[in-house]
Chains A and B, each alone.
Chain A
Amino acid sequence: MLDPSHIPPVDDDELLARYVTQSGQFRKGDQSVKADLFMPHPHRELSVTRHRDATESEIWAVGKAVALSRKRLYGRADIQAMHCQVDDLRITAKPLLPQNPNHADIEGWPIEKADKKVLALRLADTASKLIPSPLEP
């Protein structure tokens, strides 16, 4: 994981993980993820986890912690940072210490819900398909 005492800004070529905790967030047919996965909380930004300096097992450990209160972690979808910079969206490193120094927020969401949905559709378009969690059966 990133050194908590030295958190660099997010580079365009970094990969970001978004965890899938709900069956309706991906399509059963082709395992692609829906825009729903990229809709921000109404009062917050959209949380992602940076791959930078993290091992695969560390990335999954963060996902497991995110899903701790849930029955299961279906997996994650990865998206390149540059593809998140749509319209006014930007990515800011927001380490959650000590648990997750790799935490970042996608900020700059519009106010109107329909406008948010268009951006979420565009993020989903460039994200990877569901990467199943190795921690689940």
Chain B
Amino acid sequence: MSTSIAIKGQSAEAQYADNSRYIASQHFQKSATFGRQSAYDELFQVWTECKKANWDGNEALPVLRRTYDNTFRFLQSLPFGCELPSIGVEPDGELTLEWYRNSKWVLSVSIGSTGILNYAALFGHSNSRGSAEFLNDVPDILMTLIKKVMLHARS
């Protein structure tokens, strides 16, 4: 399989360096995808179980394809090395991403079809809650909360 590479440098050394950078970036992307595959698989399983209405036997709303897509893009946009969340679902048809250390140190983010993120977290006896817009990057406030939960995991 041939691959076209944009050569920026002029010398052989520069071309070699550009080539190496390109190959490294390809490896990086593949390993990032591979590292997230478990989250993608879990997302697909939850969506499959809940894409039809009444998935809870209590008239829950279906998880729309757009909600699935938004959640997939959110997972894609997590920085490399960020701990992956587990996937869940709520009866209003929104998917949830959860970062969990224990039941008192936990962050839950809801993603729907509109791109609005509603989140809540417990930090021991205190909590945090709010909403943010997802514009293809994980909002800073959520990265801060993710780090707070997961750093507690290592303390």
Q: Which residues of A contact B (CB under 8 A)?
A: 19, 21-25, 27-28, 32, 34-36, 39-42, 44, 47, 66-71, 113-115, 117-118, 120-122, 124-125
Number of A-B contacts (CB under 8 A): 104
Q: Interface size on B (CB < 8 Å)?
A: 37
List the 5 closest A-B pairs by CB distance, nearest first.
A117-B120, A24-B88, A114-B129, A36-B88, A125-B103
Q: Which chain B residues in 95-128 approach chain A with CB under 8 Å? A: 96, 98, 100, 103-104, 106, 108, 110, 118-122, 127
Check if B55 sits within 8 Å of A34, measured CB to CB.
no
What mask results when residues 29 to 49 of chain B are scored 1 for a CB within 8 Å of chain A, else 0? 000000000000010011001
Docked pose: A70 CA to B54 CA in angstroms: 8
Residues of B within 8 A of A22 (CB): 46, 49-50, 55-56, 88-89
| Contacting pair A117 B57 (CB below 8 A) | no
> A47 contacts which chain B residues (CB < 8 A)?
58
In the complex, are the beta carbons of B122 and A121 less than 8 A apart?
yes
| Bound complex: CA A105 to CA B134 (Å) | 34
Chain A residues with CB under 8 Å of B96's CB are 24, 34-36
- Supplied contacts A22-B88, A114-B131, 10 more A-B pairs, CB within 8 Å: A22-B49, A23-B46, A27-B86, A34-B86, A34-B108, A36-B89, A42-B92, A70-B57, A114-B130, A118-B127
In this assembly, does B60 line the interface, its C-beta being within 8 Å of a C-beta of chain A? Answer: yes
Q: Which residues of A contact B103 (CB under 8 A)?
A: 32, 124-125
A36 to B130, CA, bound (A): 17
CA distance A70 to B42 in the complex (A): 19
Q: How far is the CA of A32 from the CA of B105 in the complex (A)?
A: 13
Contact present for B100 and A27 (CB under 8 Å)? yes
Contact (Cβ within 8 A) B57 A68: yes
Kindly report which residue of chain B lies nearest to residue A122, judged by CB atoms: B122
Q: A36: shortest Cβ distance to chain B, in Å?
A: 4
How far apart are A3's CB and chain B's nearest CB, in angstroms?
Answer: 25
